[in-house]
Amino acid sequence: MEIPARPNAAASVQLSQRHLSMEPTTLTTRAAALAALLILAGAPLFGVLGACSPGGQAAGGGGAAATPAKFAGLDGEILKWRGEIIAQDPLCKQTAADQKCQGFDVACKAERTVTADDAAKGIVSRVVVSMTWTGFDPKFSHAQNGSQTAEFAKGASGWTRIDHKPVNMNTCGDL
């Protein structure tokens, strides 16, 4: 039995490039086909894509209506915290337009366990949040990154915030 000759390397590279084309029309067609299959299977399209959206909310949904009651108002508290950072952080004290704090980003949010003692005090949820931003360091005359981590607790009187030790920015887990 004779073994067929292997094509030369140039021919195999050409073959693989032709079959693995990633042109925009090919990607669009593949995405449309996947969406059609998901719809036919009865899967809600935006629910499937929800993991790609910030906070894990569905891409077309979300908002206050989708926020569980125990987290209601947290986004407003995070914005208030951002305002306090702008007012108090040394990196945010410069007045020149190109030297002000910018690029605020909530790097991670993670729910923490509410203990029996917490529940006895009326606390219904605990969330650790880590925020990053870019400010201006006047001592070295260049931009510098800043970050802070805080723990928010929701009780009968609303949200309270305390400083928290740094966390892993990918998982929001304690270091």
62's CB contacts (< 8 A; 6+ apart) are 53, 55
Facing residues of 60 across strands? none
Pairwise CA distance, residues 118 & 124, whole Å: 8
Residue 166 falls in which region: left (phi positive, over 0), alpha (psi -120 to 50) or beta: beta
Give 97-148 pLDDT, tens digit per residue: 778 899 999 999 999 999 999 999 999 999 999 999 999 988 888 899 999 9
pTM for the whole thing? 0.61
DSSP per residue over 59-88, as a string? SS--SGGGS-GGGTTHHHHHHHHHHHHHHH
Residue pair 154/161 in contact by the 8 Å Cβ criterion:
no
**Per-residue pLDDT tens for 8-30?**
544 444 444 444 444 444 445 56
- 39-78 pLDDT, tens digit each: 555 544 343 333 333 444 433 344 545 678 999 999 999 9
Rounded to the nearest 10 degrees, how much is the dihedral formed by the CA atoms of 59, 61, 67, 68?
A: -100
